[in-house]
A and B are shown apart, each in its own frame.
Chain A
């Protein structure tokens, strides 16, 4: 069974500080995808990034960076120079490999989320 653990329930940082959100996952699949989503107070989950299990390269997008380490089953997310607009709940998610040909049946297994508050 798949499982995603986000051990940090809530984090508070002062604006311009760097912050890292931790994500540890469990799966028996060899092919899988990892995701990060942001959920602002409006409720909509905003897609941030997807990685597949064969691509362990770290990725940087502006102030965001992601560190994928298969050896430790972790996919951590760092925000550099945090801003008040970064305040939200962040979810890490895992999806298994395609089981059904064509349709790509999959489901996202989410962690419980980390609530980030950036204080001005």
Chain B
């Protein structure tokens, strides 16, 4: 069974740039959620994708956007980067439906530094 994989592992950008982070979900999972984890904090929910549509969103501005592809992989896009966007971005996959519904399995994250 393949776990959740994220790429790249590290990224350095400058303020105002745009970034795309990628996530491959665990085999058999159809739902992907993205979280932002600032240093020393718990992860904060950005949004979730199910059947290629956004299916819930946290308190993040529209410059945070995403996609889910037919193979359930996903992208997180952030436009007009700000210094406060520096964080670990975590992707989690899960299976909608069934007894194991609602358990989210996480990747190792992408650490984004905005200079």
Number of A interface residues in the complex (CB < 8 A): 28
Q: Which of A45, A50, A104, A107 contacts B96 (CB 8 A)?
A: A104
Q: Are B106 and A105 in contact (CB under 8 A)?
A: no
Mark the stretch among B16-24, B65-73, B97-105 that contacts chain A: B97-105
Q: Which residue of chain A has the shortest Cβ distance to B100 in the bound complex?
A: A50
> Is A81 among interface residues, defined by CB-CB distance under 8 A?
no
- The interface size bin for chain B is 20 to 34
Q: Are A43 and B45 in contact (CB under 8 A)?
A: no
Q: Are A102 and B97 in contact (CB under 8 A)?
A: yes
Q: Which of A50, A104, A110, A112 has the most CB of B within 10 A?
A: A104
> Across the interface, which residues of A come within 8 angstroms of B50, CB to CB?
103, 105
Within 8 A of B (CB), among A91-113: 91, 93, 95, 98, 100, 102-113
Complex CA distance for A91 and B109, rounded to whole angstroms: 16
Complex CA distance for A46 and B105, rounded to whole angstroms: 7
> Is B33 among interface residues, defined by CB-CB distance under 8 A?
yes
Q: Are A50 and B103 in contact (CB under 8 A)?
A: yes
> Across the interface, which residues of A come within 8 angstroms of B101, CB to CB?
104
Q: Are B102 and A44 in contact (CB under 8 A)?
A: no
Q: Mark A55-87, 1 if CB is under 8 A from B, else 0.
A: 000000000000000000000000000000000
> Across the interface, which residues of B come within 8 angstroms of A110, CB to CB?
42-44
B residues apposed to A, CB below 8 Å: 31, 33, 35, 40-45, 48, 50-51, 55-56, 58, 88, 90, 92, 96-97, 101-109, 111
Apart from the given pairs A42-B108, A102-B96, 18 other A-B contacts in the complex at a CB distance below 8 Å: A35-B103, A43-B88, A43-B90, A43-B111, A44-B107, A45-B43, A45-B106, A46-B106, A47-B103, A50-B102, A91-B43, A93-B42, A100-B55, A100-B56, A103-B96, A105-B48, A106-B56, A112-B42
Q: What 6 pairs across the A-B complex have the smallest Cβ distances?
A: A110-B42, A45-B106, A107-B45, A44-B108, A105-B56, A43-B109
